[in-house]
Amino acid sequence: MSGTQDTNLSANNSQENLQAGQSGIDQTPPNQEEKEENLTPSQKMDRLIRGTTAGGMKKEIEKLRKEAAKYRFVSRTEALQKAEIQKKAAEIQKELDELKETNRNLKIVRALDKAGCIKSELVSKDIPKDCEDLEGFIEKYKEENQFLFSAPRKNIGSTFKTSGTKNLTAAQKMDAYIRAALGR
């Protein structure tokens, strides 16, 4: 609005207030506006509607615009931070899923090795991802594909060797040690 429109508007407002039976008594003078900064938004709006001076309205509108700009800026920065955090969370979730899959595969390979599988890495690909009873599945797979699993070793006889130095005296043990060290 131009300067002449502002003065015309304030003059019209003062005439309307006088015609409606309102006096200018309840309007706050400009020096009291600075003291009443702790008004609620509804009180500020009431003050604007009642018809304070046009200059006061311009100042109030300018304050509100600055405040709105501040909130828009804060909102934008928060939105950017939120997007960045969501991006990092998605990356971490992807890495976590990969680690879970690797852990699952390692558990399967370890169980297959324990069962005596020759090619654990190849057989682990045949096991479904939703398999709950891994041991039972491996037993069935072992029965169906015996050629992929080695036969369990059977110990026939003992592998325990008795020591020849068991019944020797300390001097005899020392002589045997020296001879072994010298290579005789």
Rounded to 5 degrees, what angle do the CA atoms 129, 131, 134 make?
120
Query: Looking at per-residue confidence, does 19 or 99 come out higher?
Result: 99
Share of the chain above pLDDT 70, in %: 67
Would you place residue 98 in the very low, low, confident or very high pLDDT band (cuts 50, 70, 90)? very high
Q: How high is the pLDDT of residue 35?
A: 47
Please classify residue 179 by burial: count the beta carbons closer than 10 Å to its beta carbon, then call 0-12 exposed, 13-18 middle and 19+ buried: exposed
For the segment 107-119, the average pLDDT, to the nearest whole number, is 87
For the segment 100-115, the average pLDDT, to the nearest whole number, is 89
For the segment 157-169, the average pLDDT, to the nearest whole number, is 64
Q: How high is the pLDDT of residue 82?
A: 95
Would you place residue 83 in the very low, low, confident or very high pLDDT band (cuts 50, 70, 90)? very high
Q: How high is the pLDDT of residue 146?
A: 83
Taking only the tens place, the pLDDT of each residue in 35-69 is: 456 778 777 777 767 765 666 778 888 888 898 88
Q: How high is the pLDDT of residue 173?
A: 87
For the segment 132-153, the average pLDDT, to the nearest whole number, is 82
For the segment 71-93, the average pLDDT, to the nearest whole number, is 94
Taking only the tens place, the pLDDT of each residue in 9-40 is: 555 555 555 454 544 444 555 555 454 567 78
